[in-house]
Amino acid sequence: MSRRWPHITVIGLTGNIGTGKSTVMSMLAALGATVIDADRVAHEVIAPGTPGWSQVVAAFGRGVVAADGAIDRARLGAIVFSDPAALARLEAITHPAIAIAIDQRLRAIERGVVVLEAIKLIESGLYRNCDALWVVTCRPEQQLERLMRDRRMSEAEARQRIAAQPPQSEKIALAVVVIDNSGSVEETRAQVEAAWKAIRRNPG
């Protein structure tokens, strides 16, 4: 069991953009895990009316606010993913709030296996409180293809997003489980199911 959340087993799930973390998370949910998507939490902590929203607008200007009052993540992304200092400024605003919100959710779960999916799981330090770190990988050309196809990014935008992240090898070096999502859905599912069975036998 997790040292921080001793009543549950926490799988930390991460991987670089476009590798297929959401696919693996969905497979784990189907196997019975409770899932927490840190990206959704990130949306919530900068929703209109929150301190995070006010801080983002103060840092980046009213130009990042959409017509409905929400933060326009595409506009904000265009700023921060082309400027490492701006990205660091955004993360200094959002990461503490995300960590608090995630901690509250994990404490509210009574038992079982929980999957915490976050692209910045390692960089934020949250992985240290997880029972196991799972990293999803794929070939670099697949990342590019998926971002252009699924998120409708231009090639230049996709390459910029990929380049803004640490190499996959750095995450793999810390992983207990590596899911190679380069092949078919069936091949990925087989890896996920094998690793799930192992953690259910040895919950920590």
User: What pLDDT is attached to residue 126?
Assistant: 87
The tens digit of pLDDT for each residue in 15-63 reads 999 999 999 999 999 999 999 999 999 999 999 999 999 999 999 999 9
pTM over 0.85: yes
Indicate the DSSP class of residue 181: T
Indicate the DSSP class of residue 61: -
The tens digit of pLDDT for each residue in 70-97 reads 999 999 999 998 899 999 999 999 999 9
Decide if 132 contacts 201 (C-beta within 8 A): no
- Count Cβ neighbours within 10 Å for each residue of 62-74 and write b for 16 or more, e otherwise: eebbeeeeebeee
The tens digit of pLDDT for each residue in 106-138 reads 999 999 999 999 998 998 888 998 999 999 999
Q: What is the DSSP string of 66-111?
A: -TTSSB-HHHHHHHHTT-HHHHHHHHHHHHHHHHHHHHHHHHH--S
Q: Assign domain 9-201 to a CATH class.
A: alpha beta
Angle at 18 between CA 15 and CA 24, to 5 degrees: 60
